[in-house]
C-alpha cells in the first residue's frame, strides 16, 4: 500500500492546481496538528505518573492515588469473555454467508441486513439492551460476564464483515480443485479456506478489540463500577475507560491519574493497531496455503 503514487502526473502550474495542492496539504497539516495537540496533551500530563507500580497496584483513595492493576485485569477479562463468545459465532456466520449462502437467498439477505443495522446501533443503546437482557432478564447482574456479552454484540458485525471478505478473497479454483478431489466441504473448509482467510480474520479481530477496549457507554450499565481485583466472571469489574470517566467527572483531584490511565489505554491501542497492520501486511505475502 502507499506505493501506488503516479509520478508521471503532469504538474502544470495553474491557479486551480495550486489551490488543490494548498487545500490537500492544509487539510493534512490541520489533521496532524489537532491530533498532535491531543496526543501531546495526554503524553505531557500522563507520562510522569506511569510506573511499574501504577500498572500493578490497586487504586487507592477512590483512584486519586494508587494504580490500575485490578482495572487492567477486569478489562482483560471483559475482553476475554467478549472474544470467547464473538469469535465462534462470528466465524461461523461469516463462513455461512460467504461459502454456503448465495447473495440472493432470503436467509442470507435477512442476516446481512440485520448485521448492517447492528453495526450502526449506538453503543449506549446496546448498553441499555445489555442491562435489560443480560443483567436483569438472565440474572447475571452487574458482572464481567454481562459486560463481555454486551461487547460481543457490538463486535460481531465488524468481525463478520472482515472475515467474510477474507473468505471471498480465496480464489474459486481452490474450492473446485478440492471438490474434484472428492474432499468433503468440512475438510475443504478446515484445511484450505480457513487458513487462507486467517489474515483478514485477524484484522477484523484486532479492529473489534480496539472498539471493545475503547467502549465506555455500554459498560457503565453492564460490568459496573467495582474496582477490586475480580475473583470470578460473575464479579463486577471496572473497565479502563470507565475508570477514566469516573476520575475525570466524579472524583476531585483525579485528573493526574485520569491522564495516566488514558495514556495506558492509548499505548494499548497503539500495540493492537500495530499488530493489526503488521498482520495485514504479513498476510499479503502469505497467500500460499500448506495443508
Q: Which DSSP category does 61 fall into?
A: G
- DSSP-based three-state secondary structure for 204: helix
The answer to the question of residue 50 lying near other proteins (CB under 8 A) is no
Per-residue contact flags (x/-) with other proteins for residues 106 to 145, judged by CB under 8 A: -x--xx-xxxxxxxxxxxxxx-xx--xx---x----x---
Least distance to other proteins from the beta carbon of 170, Å?
Answer: 8
Least distance to other proteins from the beta carbon of 35, Å?
Answer: 6
Least distance to other proteins from the beta carbon of 245, Å?
Answer: 5
- Only one of the segments 71-79, 197-205, 283-291 lies at the binding site for other proteins (rule: CB under 8 A); that segment is 71-79
The answer to the question of residue 84 lying near other proteins (CB under 8 A) is no
Structural contact between residues 130 and 218, judged by C-beta atoms closer than 8 angstroms: yes
Per-residue contact flags (x/-) with other proteins for residues 216 to 235, judged by CB under 8 A: xx--xx--xxxxxx-x---x
Radius of gyration (C-alpha) of the chain in whole angstroms:
23
Residue holding cell 472428492? 182
The residues, any chain, with a CB within 8 Å of residue 282's CB and separated by 6 or more, are 199
Between helix 15-46 and helix 255-284 the angle, nearest 10°, is: 130
Residues 17-36 binding other proteins (CB under 8 A) are 17, 19-21, 23-28, 30-32, 34-35
Residues 233-272 binding other proteins (CB under 8 A) are 235-236, 241, 244-246, 248-254, 258, 262, 265-272
CA separation for the pair 286, 281 (Å, rounded): 9
CA separation for the pair 103, 285 (Å, rounded): 29
Using the minimum distance from each CB to other proteins, give the nearer residue, 198 or 217: 217
Burial class from Cβ neighbours inside 10 Å (0-12, 13-18, 19+) for residue 7 reads: exposed
The answer to the question of residue 204 lying near other proteins (CB under 8 A) is no
β-pair partners for 195: none
The answer to the question of residue 192 lying near other proteins (CB under 8 A) is no
- Only one of the segments 173-181, 196-204, 283-291 lies at the binding site for other proteins (rule: CB under 8 A); that segment is 173-181
Amino acid at each position: 500500500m502507499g506505493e501506488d503514487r503516479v509520478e508521471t502526473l503532469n504538474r502544470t502550474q495553474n491557479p486551480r492546481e495550486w489551490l488543490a495542492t494548498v487545500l490537500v496539504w492544509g487539510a493534512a497539516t490541520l489533521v496532524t496538528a489537532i491530533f498532535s495537540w491531543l496526543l501531546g496533551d495526554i503524553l505531557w500530563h500522563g507520562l510522569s505518573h506511569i510506573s511499574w507500580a501504577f500498572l500493578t497496584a490497586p487504586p487507592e483513595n477512590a483512584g486519586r492515588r494508587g494504580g490500575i492493576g485490578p482495572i487492567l485485569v477486569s478489562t482483560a477479562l471483559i475482553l476475554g469473555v467478549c472474544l470467547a463468545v464473538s469469535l465462534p459465532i462470528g466465524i461461523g456466520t461469516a463462513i455461512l454467508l460467504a461459502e454456503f449462502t448465495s447473495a440472493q437467498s432470503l436467509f442470507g439477505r435477512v442476516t446481512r441486513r440485520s448485521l448492517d443495522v447492528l453495526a450502526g446501533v449506538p453503543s449506549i443503546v446496546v448498553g441499555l439492551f445489555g442491562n435489560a437482557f443480560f443483567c436483569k432478564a438472565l440474572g447475571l447482574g452487574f458482572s464481567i460476564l454481562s459486560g463481555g456479552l454486551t461487547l460481543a454484540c457490538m463486535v460481531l458485525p465488524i468481525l463478520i464483515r472482515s472475515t467474510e471478505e477474507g473468505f471471498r478473497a480465496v480464489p474459486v479454483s481452490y474450492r473446485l480443485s478440492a471438490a474434484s478431489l472428492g474432499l468433503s466441504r468440512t475438510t475443504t473448509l478446515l484445511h484450505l479456506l480457513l487458513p487462507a482467510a486467517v489474515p483478514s480474520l485477524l484484522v477484523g479481530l484486532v479492529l473489534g478489540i480496539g472498539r471493545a477496549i475503547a467502549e465506555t457507554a455500554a459498560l457503565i450499565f453492564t460490568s459496573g463500577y467495582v474496582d477490586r481485583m475480580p475473583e470470578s466472571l460473575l464479579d463486577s469489574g471496572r473497565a479502563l475507560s470507565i475508570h477514566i470517566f469516573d476520575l475525570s467527572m466524579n472524583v476531585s483531584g483525579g485528573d493526574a491519574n485520569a491522564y495516566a490511565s488514558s495514556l495506558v489505554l492509548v499505548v494499548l491501542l497503539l500495540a493492537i493497531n500495530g499488530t493489526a497492520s503488521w498482520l495485514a501486511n504479513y498476510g499479503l505475502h502469505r497467500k500460499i496455503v500448506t495443508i
